Amino acid sequence: MKKNAKPIPFIVLLISIVFSNTVLAQKAKSPVAPDYERLEQILKDAHQKFAADKSGSPADYIPELAKVDPELFGICVVTVDGKVFSVGDVNHTFSIQSISKVYTLAMIMDQMGQQAILDKLGAEPTGLPFNSVTAIEQQPTRVGNPLVNAGAIATTSLLDGESEKEKWEEILAFYSACAGNELTILNDVYESEAATNGRNQAIARLLQAYGVMYNDPEEAVDLYTKQCSVGANTEQLAAMGATLAADGTNPFTGENVISPDNVPHILSIMLSCGMYDYSGTWSYITGLPAKSGVGGGIVAIVPGKGAIAAFSPRVDAAGNSVRAQKAIAYISKQLQINIFDPQSVGVE
């Protein structure tokens, strides 16, 4: 004790100890899973219930995606306090595809602010397929929102950096920080996608003609193709989702990756646009912000609680994994997690 320092009053010390113990007790219990065994059983039930569902087919417009085993199926929950619950093929690495759009959006929002998203990109659902050219002609902002291809390519064109290499390194580092794990590009998927992305190149040129392409369109499309080809497994994807659920802080590393002020805006766009032209129905069924990718992954966010991720390659006409969306919807119903339901999270 320092010389002349006053002793800590007993009552202050007692309150401090009680508070510390309370905090530790709260951290020891996952807010998403008040009953660990029950959650584990729900995940097992969901996996068993939908594993035999053969609906949909792998996205074959990217040749490499058509080669993925369609029977793969994994489900994972990661809570904001770092608890992990999983079942199935959760360690299989797949390309995150359009889920990447959420995290590049987060980068741009951190760089340019929330208003820039509305001014330069928009936040309105298109009601049309994710790669629609017609939507560009119809939308006042041309790009619609950052979670369709046009909006995502425009978003990528806003990235800071002296070179494409530097921008790509920033993207990969940011995604990895969100996952709490070093992610890498799946080169076979990238090469396959780069060889067949003529439609996205045309979208970029059309956006350039309308004055809403903010850098070289070829560079923007190439960066976008690379970000879609980043590989993650289901547990890593759930961790990326849990980072958003935890106000932008990764639950494993403790690093604040995304500004907390931006998280509600990102989640609002996910809720209205994240499942493409199925987003309204998804919101109606689950009440959870989510994002899908044609690689078969879906991540759904329970703000302040955690994330549910699921992966299976067969997708429906909208581009959403059939098994993954059914599994997440089932889990959300069983756990009573819905952001619109006052009696939702934590009720046992």
Q: Which residues are annotated as a binding site for substrate?
A: 98, 149, 193, 200, 224, 276, 294
Which one of 68, 224, 257, 263 is the catalytic residue? 224
Which one of 276, 283, 302, 345 is the catalytic residue? 276
Whether residue 73 contacts residue 50, with contact meaning beta carbons closer than 8 Å, is answered with yes
Assigned token pair, 207: 């956006």
Whether residue 328 contacts residue 290, with contact meaning beta carbons closer than 8 Å, is answered with yes
Which one of 77, 78, 83, 101 is the catalytic residue? 101
Half-sphere exposure of 16 (CA within 13 A, CB side): 6
What residue numbers does the annotated binding site cover? 98, 149, 193, 200, 224, 276, 294
| 101 classed as catalytic | yes
- The CA-atom distances, in angstroms, between 127 and each of 154, 268, 281, 286, 307 are 19, 16, 12, 19, 26
Q: What phi, psi does 184 have (nearest 5°)? A: -135, 165
**Can you say how many angstroms the Cα of residue 341 is from the centroid of all Cα atoms in its chain?**
22
Starting at the earlier edge strand, list the strands of the sheet with 230-232: 94-95, 230-232, 184-185
| 86 beta partners | 76
Position 277, amino acid? D
Q: How many CB atoms lie within 10 A of CB 324?
A: 30
| 299 classed as catalytic | no
Q: DSSP string of 161-221?
A: -SSHHHHHHHHHHHHHHHHTS--EE-HHHHHHHHTT-HHHHHHHHHHHHTT---S-HHHHH
What secondary structure, in 3-state letters, does 40-73 show? HHHHHHHHHHHCCCCCCECCCCCHHHHHCCCCCC
Which one of 98, 192, 279, 292 is the catalytic residue? 98
Q: What gap in Å lies between CA 241 and CA 260, rounded to an integer?
A: 14
- The dihedral over CA atoms of 338, 279, 85, 251, expressed in degrees to the nearest 10, equals -80
| 98 classed as catalytic | yes
Cα–Cα–Cα angle for 148, 345, 34, rounded to 5 degrees: 125
Handedness of CA 294, 299, 301, 302 (dihedral sign): positive
Catalytic residues: 98, 101, 224, 276, 294
